[in-house]
Amino acid sequence: MIVPSNRLTLLENGPQYFPALLAAIDAAETEVRLESYLYEADTIGLAVAEALMRAAARGVRVYVLLDGFGASGFSAGLAARLSAAGVLWRHYRPERGLLRLRRHRLRRLHRKLVVVDGRVAFVGGINIIADDNAPGHPSHRYDYAVQVEGPLVHEVHAAVRRLWWLVEWSRSRRRTSMGPTFPVPAAAGTQAAELLLRDNWRHRHRIEEAYFKAIRDAKHEIVIANAYFLPGWRFRHALTEAAQRGVRVVLLLQGRIEYRIQHYATLALYRFFLERGVEIYEYRSSFLHAKVAVVDRSWATVGSSNIDPFSLVLAREANIAVHDRAFASDLHDRIFTALRTGASQVHRLPWRLLPWYRRALAWLGYGIVRALTGLVGYAREFGEADGRSNRQES
């Protein structure tokens, strides 16, 4: 549901996000709720923990929910300090052994949400981790979050409150309190937006369908910056059909190798897109972690959801879709600044002339991802069961 009368602040990378987050936590009077896939006990993780403990010392109720796989190594020492300070923290689906190829073990908490006092929320793709906590210590991860003030905060709060209750119920199998509710915040601005959740019950395809609608409605331009890009058959053809009707389609993808299988699997799709008029740019200045898009400078989305099987058919995700020309234009301009200053374009002819072994690695990576997707029973749902895709992309 599109909610009007919000004030939305686009935050780029950790240097903009974490000061805003820490200021909001330090101003908390009643409650702080935080969800994250990763939480490292580095300089950022410790700074956030200190702010959470200060809030708890003031009598603020503090809830922290971390994914049981992504944050499985959450520092025991830091966890003990948080608990001693009165911070309530839990793991979502804690891992107690090797990850097995079973559906319920692969359903992770990948969203990154924070709500303070039911009046300000943060939605985006930025984990609680310092920028220099990465292989090779490159410069900042390229990523985004949105600070939300206004009525939409009520929906974000309801989402984190409900998930905390579900986790508590799964631990004890007893009715537990969901915690306090807050009134719907008053109008804070003029921007309209909607919260897009993805789960395996009520909102299985909500993020993907929002993309489809925006792509179908596009008249001039579609710009997507996505860290792990491995779309299913329907998504691929929605983009190429847009390109064939004259819409400019621009993909800004990961240029650095962070996870080899995902990287090479994405490379396998390059020829399909390039031969159908889609522009591809690889971001190389640092690790690309963004999951954002802009259509016609009037619709934009920012959030945690990649365009791959993990995000679109397995994990809990949260994006915000913004229906505001000023916000969308701002994000558009920032993406193109990153594209001009930190990316290189992939051209059709050089891709076709790549050495055979690199193309073989690409198809091997793609085959592994497809096989893993099929093993957990999601191949048909993700559109990979249609044999036409192989014939058209080879």
Q: Is 137 a catalytic residue?
A: no
Residue in 112, 140, 157, 237 annotated catalytic: 112
Instruction: Give the whole-angstrom CA distance, residue 295 versus residue 220.
Output: 8
Residue in 91, 237, 263, 289 annotated catalytic: 289
Residue in 154, 237, 263, 291 annotated catalytic: 291
Q: Is 296 a catalytic residue?
A: yes
Q: Is 110 a catalytic residue?
A: yes
Residue in 131, 143, 199, 296 annotated catalytic: 296
Given a contact cutoff of 8 angstroms between Cβ atoms, the answer to whether 271 and 393 are in contact is yes
Report CA-CA distances (Å) from 362 to 60, 291, 382: 50, 22, 20
Instruction: Give the whole-angstrom CA distance, residue 13 versus residue 112.
Output: 14
Helix or strand run (H / E) with residue 251: strand 248-254
Instruction: Give the whole-angstrom CA distance, residue 158 versus residue 118.
Output: 9
Q: Is 117 a catalytic residue?
A: yes
Does residue 383 come out as left (phi exceeding 0), alpha (psi in the -120 to 50 range) or beta?
Answer: left
Given a contact cutoff of 8 angstroms between Cβ atoms, the answer to whether 317 and 207 are in contact is yes
Residue in 110, 140, 157, 332 annotated catalytic: 110
And the tokens for 113? 């949400």
Given a contact cutoff of 8 angstroms between Cβ atoms, the answer to whether 128 and 30 are in contact is no
The catalytic site residues sit at: 110, 112, 117, 289, 291, 296
